[in-house]
Amino acid sequence: MSFALSLLADEYAFSPPKELHLRNSRDFSLYADALALQAKEGGLEFAIEDASATQPYLHNGEVKGFSKKHSDYDFNPGLRIGMHFLFGDDRWNSDITWTFVKITNSKSVYSPSNGVLIPLWLIPEANSTNQTLHATWESNFNVLDFRLGKSFLISQSFIANPHFGGRLAFVDQHFSVNYGGYYGVTRGAVSHNDNDFAGLGLRGGVETEWKLSPSWALIGNLAGAILWGHFEVDQNLIQGVTEGYTVTHDLNQNIPNVEMALGVSWARSFRRDQFRLNARLTYEFHEWWDMLQLRRFYFGGPNYPNAAVTRNNFTMNGFAFRLQVAI
């Protein structure tokens, strides 16, 4: 039995996938993905609603913020563009891919009739309450990946493509909250926060394809990266007449991230194998650790104690539809 399995593995494991060959092929393809991704990040709570309390006492509080419910987040459009190359008798492959997602989320909250809204991004005071607030979270997600891989026929219907390469990332975030109410003699307070990241590092993973028929297949991809990164953090608060601050903080930190995609693909050759069209629909998961580096003040006074909003991850999940043409 084990001898038979060994022969089967030897027959397929180091064979290049034959369906990659086209007549007079240039071993080159272009692809584009239309993305619809839902982005989330912890630490973006902006108020506590207490429907039956009067400051400074808290009775039945409910946290308000983007991270409380999935429905608080919109699906955001994005684009992924790539080039795929094949070379050598063993059919090595190389990819260069750029991914861009524009993230925009906004939310308004109103004070309950018999309660208060306690702000979380202001300098705390005994009378720090507000009647309304409007919060926005925006981000530009730019990632460039480059990799080298080699496909293996594990069996007649299963193909694995391990790959290794690098990643360059720019993730700029802006989070602002406009609080309505009176702070001293001034109405309204505004908190503006920029959290910008740039990183470069190594990435590796594996793509798999399980063929159901000559045209249809199930696909599953997994990849991870660790980036040496630099954060530029700028925070500004306008609160009343004498309160408020401007804080800047630059730091370097290694940032790990992982991604996974599951879906189905369809492929067919045309014009007597002169070119090949591939389409696929996948559901993707992205997880980036420790991406929020903002600081929050938890008491007023001359020393202004504050701490970082720690261990809050940036995540995205949603759909990707790809069209790829090989020539």
Structure confidence by residue, pLDDT tens digits, 30-87: 999 999 999 999 889 888 888 766 655 677 788 888 764 555 567 899 999 999 998 8
Question: CA-CA distance, 211 to 173, in Å (whole number)?
Answer: 41
Tokens 């992982």 identify what position?
258
Question: CA-CA distance, 155 to 14, in Å (whole number)?
Answer: 10
Contact 246, 238 (CB under 8 A): no
Q: How far is CA 290 from the centre of its chain?
A: 12
Arithmetic mean of pLDDT, 172-194: 81
Query: What confidence category does residue 307 fall into, taking pLDDT thresholds of 50, 70 and 90?
Result: confident
Query: What confidence category does residue 6 fall into, taking pLDDT thresholds of 50, 70 and 90?
Result: very low
The CATH architecture one would assign to domain 2-39+76-112+131-326 is Beta Barrel (2.40)
Question: CA-CA distance, 51 to 219, in Å (whole number)?
Answer: 49
Torsion angles phi and psi, residue 2, rounded to 5: -65, -35
Structure confidence by residue, pLDDT tens digits, 211-244: 999 889 999 999 999 999 999 999 998 876 566 7
- What residue segments make up the domains of the chain, in order of their start? 2-39+76-112+131-326
